[in-house]
Structure 1
Amino acid sequence: MKQQDKEDPRVEESPSALNFEYNINRFGVLFLLAIIIAALAGLFSNGLLSSASKQNTPHTFDVNYDRFARLMSESEINITIQDLHADRYMVSIGNSLLDNYQLGDIRPEPDKMYSHGGTLYLMYNAADFPPPLSLWISITPRKPGNVTSTVKVNSEAEITYRQFVYP
């Protein structure tokens, strides 16, 4: 058999397909690197971008929370009562918390706790808990999406904060 009778083993390459593959490889690596950096910074869970804190206008209490949470994954809210002098502390948490989250531990345990009109009320005797009182509430998101919650202590200005829950 002669050399000329054999089929040519070379494959016809499409320049557009090669350019497409090259661009996918080049931008795909950058995209994956951006996801890794965002995850390390806390965009998807705990980290620098995730932790947030808000204080009310008269600076009597503040709320520490995570901006981002994962569905059915427990996180905590910390409410710190600082310069509020009263006989008792009534912490009220808006109805979106009860609608969108499952409550877990509440530390320290309140003297009295009830809900009315969708709002959760936690009552503490100030003699038992002198300022600063640090209150920890464990929450587990039940629904994905953007959730806005409010926290109020006694008749002080309320704090409204927002948390995004990943599915």
Structure 2
Amino acid sequence: MQRFKYALMGLGAGLLASSAPAAAQDFTFEDYFHGRTVAEGSFTAINGVKRRFTVELTGKWDGRLLTLRENFHFDDGSRDTKTWRFVKTGPHSYSGTREDVIGAAPVRLSGNTARFSYLVYLSPETETNKVRFHDKMVLRQDGSVLNTALVTKFGLPVAWTRVEFRKPGHGSTGKRDMR
């Protein structure tokens, strides 16, 4: 069960620095995820495992590379840190890597939506239990970003994630403040 925490890192899991939320048509990772971002999410597997978590994200943009550090706090008290590195490869595309991702994750943006797919070892220390995440991130009118992901193994669904990102101090998700 503990291994499923790595599956949660698909934020990509999860991802820059205006003082106001970006308009839906202007969604880019470097604009939305630069600086501080917070998130709440859940992971549900077909075997009955359910985990809730919060994430504090810090993004740094250098004009070509977004480094996005994710500090996870799980409902069982455990913690984890993952770091995405997104290289901008075009006006509407990135290539993302992370320590537990196998290879690179190509990211495509269209309007207010980003889509990407990548392989992850749920047990990275032994390189076992390989699954694929199929992420869809949508910048919503209220300035939040909703990330939903289907997790598959051998092409069959095995889990789902839902993560809601927001910039602190902008809008409300109706949930508790995570500062």
| Same fold per superposition (TM over 0.5) | no
**Which structure has the larger Rg?**
1
Structure with greater helix percent: 1
| Band the TM-score falls in, shorter-chain normalisation | 0.3 to 0.5
Higher strand share: 2
- How does the TM-score come out when normalised to structure 2? 0.32
